[in-house]
Chain A
């Protein structure tokens, strides 16, 4: 029963992300909507698998590794996508690391 609820919520978060990406807006808006699916979706589903199979089983450990990978690597992808979108828009990154106040 707990598994059912966790999987349902995880799938719901991912589908929310899908709807958000399909909604009208620019690439930056879509990047925002991709966050809940990439964070809570894998996390809740990994929790369900760990509860079902046990933490120290092959399934539990591999699912945790997958989730940690997604959680750690997704911000990098989001950052580089936003960077690419900005450079495409302006022709340069136009970033001033030391703003002259």
Chain B
């Protein structure tokens, strides 16, 4: 179980640069960083649920996967012309 927690900690260290990059880069590149960050956040939720051995918490990862997709799609649509 510790394996999962260490993996989650390492991945969280990779999430921080994506957040900073999404704020500072040009909009299109920032959107890519946002999507990669969403994937990382979803995987971190899976790892934390597995690491703490609480099976209902896996629902959070499913919701995160769906919502980061919806958010990225909305951003992409608005970035075409209106932002």
Interface residues of A, Cβ cutoff 8 Å to B? 3-4, 7-8, 10-11, 14-15, 17-18, 21-22, 26-27, 30-31, 34, 37-38, 41-42, 45-46, 48-49, 52-53, 57-59, 62-63, 65-66, 69-70, 73-74, 76-78, 80-81, 83-85, 87-88
In the complex, A30 Cα to B28 Cα: how many Å? 10
Find B39's partner among A22, A41, A59 (CB 8 Å cutoff): A41
| CB-nearest residue of chain A to B63 | A66
In the complex, A38 Cα to B42 Cα: how many Å? 11
**Given known A45-B7, A69-B66, A84-B77, contact A18–B47 (CB-CB < 8 A):** no
Find A73's partner among B14, B69, B81 (CB 8 Å cutoff): B69
What residues of A have a CB within 8 angstroms of the CB of B42 in the complex? 42, 66, 70
| CB-nearest residue of chain A to B39 | A38
Pair B39/A66 contact, Cβ less than 8 Å: no
Find B33's partner among A21, A52, A84 (CB 8 Å cutoff): A21
Find A4's partner among B3, B33, B66, B72 (CB 8 Å cutoff): B3
Find B46's partner among A45, A80, A83, A85 (CB 8 Å cutoff): A45
Min CB gap B64→A, angstroms: 8
In the complex, A88 Cα to B3 Cα: how many Å? 43
Pair B14/A63 contact, Cβ less than 8 Å: no
Chain B contact residue count (CB 8 A cutoff): 42
Pair A58/B58 contact, Cβ less than 8 Å: yes
Pair B72/A77 contact, Cβ less than 8 Å: yes
What residues of A have a CB within 8 angstroms of the CB of B58 in the complex? 58-59, 62-63, 66
What residues of A have a CB within 8 angstroms of the CB of B7 in the complex? 7-8, 10-11, 45
